[in-house]
Amino acid sequence: MNSRRKFLQKVGLSAVALQLASVKTWANGNAAPHDVYDGPVLRVAIMGLGGYGTRVAGAMQYCTKAKLVGAISGTPKKLTNWQDSFAIPAKNCYNYQTFDEVKNNPDIDAIYITTPNALHHDQALRIAKAGKHVICEKPMALNAKQGQEMVDACNKAGVKLLVGYRMHFEPKTLEVIRMRKAGDFGKIRFFQGLCGFNIGDPKQWRLNKELAGGGSLMDIGIYAINGARYMVGEDPIWVTAQETKTDPIRFKEGVDETIQFQFGFPSGAVASCLSTYTMNNLDKFFLDGDRGWAEMLPSTGYGPIKGRTHKGELTQPVTTHQTVQMDEFSEIILNGKQPIVPVDGNEAVRDLKIIDAIYLAVKTGKKVELKLV
């Protein structure tokens, strides 16, 4: 613990200030000094202490408005390690059978679910019943029905439901959105979203339909789906889709390897997207309009995000996405801040409706009409 604290204390103040500066200031390209924060702090427990949960925990060490105070896991050794690594009190640690008891713990405000997709729904309902705010990784659930039940449960309990849409706070992404809103690209005509990588361990939960709910679409494909919506600035009204499977042994029934999908929007704009588990070097967004264009490559990875438009390179600072996200979540939950792009459960349900429609289009070979609201 002492060595970790010393390391954090030695981090340059200018770097910390840059990372935690106002997201809106970044999006406008004018960085400003970061004032010392003296407001309420969101106290968070992380549920699911795997790779991504650990990444969030590390990033939260640099937060000023959110603090990691608890952990939930089915592995006792992980809980012990997290107590040592992140100074988490033993009284704030739970397993999957006991975490309902968090309702009696006033030191935890919110729980961040980073477990496999199939577990999100039931865990979110239990957290809401315990009276704690819910933060959930994406996709929020296995389908829109489950997602709506999560929204309803949180509304009934009077708690917030937020989803880990970290790109909604990323400075270069926000600059493209600002430019689109300002009319810099003119009428939007086309969006392309390519998301994929060559997945590794065949025994991992992402290739288990019971835990993942699908394959590449339920993992990396969510970025192209959500990205199409915030880049174009509209919700699609129809979808078509095609699946390609070259390795049925590795990608068993119900686990998609590669899916191409197309959207149509009310304005007449169209989108062409792809999610895959068998191709590397696919992390690209392209937006085309009558008067200009924007390209992001990489577009959604952990960083650094890079981009350019018809006006030149995007120069907004590189950030640690999870640090900024958690500070922004604190503002939303504790201060009622409205983000530039929504990150709530209703936003996630719209994505889940699109996922449902993509799978239906693959199955039927037909165009599927969409009504997201």
Q: What number of CA atoms fall less than 13 Å from residue 319's CA on the CB side? A: 33
223 a catalytic residue:
yes
Measured distance CA(146)–CA(87) in Å, rounded: 35
Measured distance CA(148)–CA(349) in Å, rounded: 6
160 a catalytic residue:
no
Strand partners, 264: 238, 270
Domains and CATH numbers, the chain: 2-166 (3.40.50.720), 173-313+345-369 (3.30.360.10)
pLDDT, residue 17, reads 36
pLDDT, residue 18, reads 37
Give the pLDDT confidence of 138-182 residue by residue, as tens digits: 999 999 999 999 999 999 999 999 999 999 999 999 999 999 999
pLDDT in tens, the chain (373 residues): 333 333 333 333 333 333 334 344 434 444 444 568 899 999 999 999 999 999 999 999 999 999 999 999 999 999 999 999 999 999 999 999 999 999 999 999 999 999 999 999 999 999 999 999 999 999 999 999 999 999 999 999 999 999 999 999 999 999 999 999 999 999 999 999 999 999 999 999 999 999 999 999 999 999 999 999 999 999 999 999 999 999 999 999 999 999 999 999 999 999 999 999 999 999 999 999 999 999 999 999 998 999 999 999 999 999 999 999 999 999 999 999 999 999 999 999 999 999 999 999 999 999 999 999 8
Task: Read off the pTM.
Answer: 0.91
Catalytic residue among 65, 78, 132, 138: 138
pLDDT, residue 264, reads 99
pLDDT, residue 26, reads 39
Give the pLDDT confidence of 234-252 residue by residue, as tens digits: 999 999 999 999 999 999 9
Give the pLDDT confidence of 81-116 residue by residue, as tens digits: 999 999 999 999 999 999 999 999 999 999 999 999
Catalytic residue among 94, 112, 165, 223: 223
